[in-house]
């Protein structure tokens, strides 16, 4: 058998091998951790216990974690920019770590055992990387002070503990105006956004060419000082105000802010 013949007989196997290798290399591995942010801190209506709600940056997934009153206060005060007259526990820890030259890198909520979440704080000191076991509430309270990322193990976002906001958006009616898509809040979403059931309307999507002001995830609570009771109420009042600036009261995260918005086009599917 000549050299050219051997090369010709080997070529199909080589192509199959290279194709399989290329496909495997191009396949994107699933993320083991998802970066989250604090959506809100409030009280669970059923248990009247403090709860912190985390959501991913795309606002498709949410995770509620029940915490203690002191930790809820520590997170809420930092989110609202409130500075206590004397350092609270988490402020003191931050000052100690800063003074010692310890770098606070991230927080990972990594496990759930018997309804209790477990977290780790990742630090760097000198030439050493450190991982500290922590309650999620303390880890989150420190992360918001250091302005460092909060991650959740992706496995924790696949069970019944996480809320699929994308699924909720697909199961409710919507209206669209000026590039803004708004929907009613289901009872589950009302609990997630900490608003009374049957009130408000959720901004589900914002087109790239929409006027500035509203953001995805905003909850429209009032128009010109009068409460909004759903998208039907919202559509009727926006239609009446078409072309005229409307003064909205919007819940964004844990804050309530004013937004001025002028409706140029209203479509009700």
The span from the CA of 134 to the CA of 49, in Å, is 20
Task: Determine if the pTM surpasses 0.85.
Answer: no
Angle at 38 between CA 167 and CA 141, to 5 degrees: 150
CA atoms within 13 A on the CB side of 205: 12
Q: What is the pLDDT of residues 93-136, one digit of tens each?
A: 999 999 999 999 999 999 998 889 999 999 999 889 999 999 99
Domains and CATH numbers, the chain: 33-162 (3.10.690.10), 172-267 (2.30.42.10)
End-to-end CA distance of the chain: 72
Q: For residue 145, what is the enclosing H or E element?
A: helix 136-146
- Give the pLDDT score at 8: 45
- Phi/psi of residue 62, nearest 5 degrees: -135, 150
The span from the CA of 45 to the CA of 196, in Å, is 10
Please name which of 257, 269, 166, 150 lies closest in space to residue 214, comparing C-alpha atoms.
257
CB distance 40 to 59 below 8 Å:
no
Question: For residue 193, what are its two tokens?
Answer: 């956004």
CB distance 188 to 168 below 8 Å:
yes
The span from the CA of 128 to the CA of 103, in Å, is 10
The span from the CA of 238 to the CA of 263, in Å, is 7
Given the DSSP bridges, would you call strands 150-153 and 103-113 parallel, antiparallel or unpaired?
A: parallel
Q: What is the pLDDT of residues 94-104, one digit of tens each?
A: 999 999 999 99
How would you write the pLDDT of the chain (269 residues) with one tens digit per residue? 444 444 444 455 554 445 555 544 555 566 888 999 987 787 765 667 888 888 888 777 788 888 999 998 999 888 888 888 888 999 999 999 999 999 999 999 999 988 899 999 999 998 899 999 999 999 999 999 999 999 999 888 886 677 765 555 444 567 787 788 888 887 778 877 888 877 888 888 888 877 788 888 899 998 888 888 777 777 777 766 667 788 899 998 878 899 887 776 555 44
How many other β-carbons are positioned within 10 Å of the β-carbon of residue 252?
16
Q: What is the pLDDT of residues 25-43, one digit of tens each?
A: 555 566 888 999 987 787 7
Question: For residue 266, what are its two tokens?
Answer: 């209203």
Please name which of 266, 200, 194 lies closest in space to residue 229, comparing C-alpha atoms.
200
Q: What is the pLDDT of residues 187-197, one digit of tens each?
A: 778 877 888 87
Question: For residue 216, what are its two tokens?
Answer: 């995805």
- Give the pLDDT score at 128: 92
**What b/e sequence results for 125-141 when a residue is b if at least 16 CB atoms lie within 10 Å of its CB, and e otherwise?**
eeeeeeeeebbbbbbbb
**Running DSSP on this structure, what letter comes out for residue 27?**
S
């Amino acid at each position: 058998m000549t050299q050219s013949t051997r090369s010709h007989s080997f070529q199909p196997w080589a192509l199959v091998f290279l194709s399989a290798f290329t496909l495997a290399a191009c396949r994107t591995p699933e993320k083991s951790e998802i970066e989250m942010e604090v959506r809100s801190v409030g009280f669970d209506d059923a248990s009247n216990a403090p709860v912190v709600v985390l959501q991913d940056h795309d606002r498709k997934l949410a995770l509620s974690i029940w915490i203690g009153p002191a930790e809820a206060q520590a997170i809420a005060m930092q989110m609202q920019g409130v500075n206590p007259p004397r350092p609270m526990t988490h402020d003191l820890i931050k000052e100690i770590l800063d003074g010692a030259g310890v770098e606070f890198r991230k927080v990972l909520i990594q496990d759930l055992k018997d309804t209790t979440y477990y977290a780790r704080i990742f630090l760097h000191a000198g030439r050493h990387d450190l991982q500290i076991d922590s309650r999620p509430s303390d880890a989150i309270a420190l992360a918001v002070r250091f302005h460092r990322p909060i991650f959740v193990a992706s496995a924790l976002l696949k069970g019944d503990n996480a809320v699929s906001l994308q699924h909720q958006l697909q199961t409710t009616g919507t209206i669209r105006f000026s590039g803004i898509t708004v929907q009613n809040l289901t009872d589950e979403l009302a609990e997630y956004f900490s608003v009374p059931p049957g009130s408000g309307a959720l901004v589900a999507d914002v087109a790239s060419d929409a006027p500035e002001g509203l953001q995805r995830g905003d909850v429209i609570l009032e128009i010109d000082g009068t409460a909004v009771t759903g998208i039907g109420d919202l559509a009727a009042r926006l239609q009446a105000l078409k072309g005229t600036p409307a003064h909205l009261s919007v819940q964004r995260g844990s804050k309530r802010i004013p937004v001025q918005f002028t409706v140029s086009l209203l479509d009700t599917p």
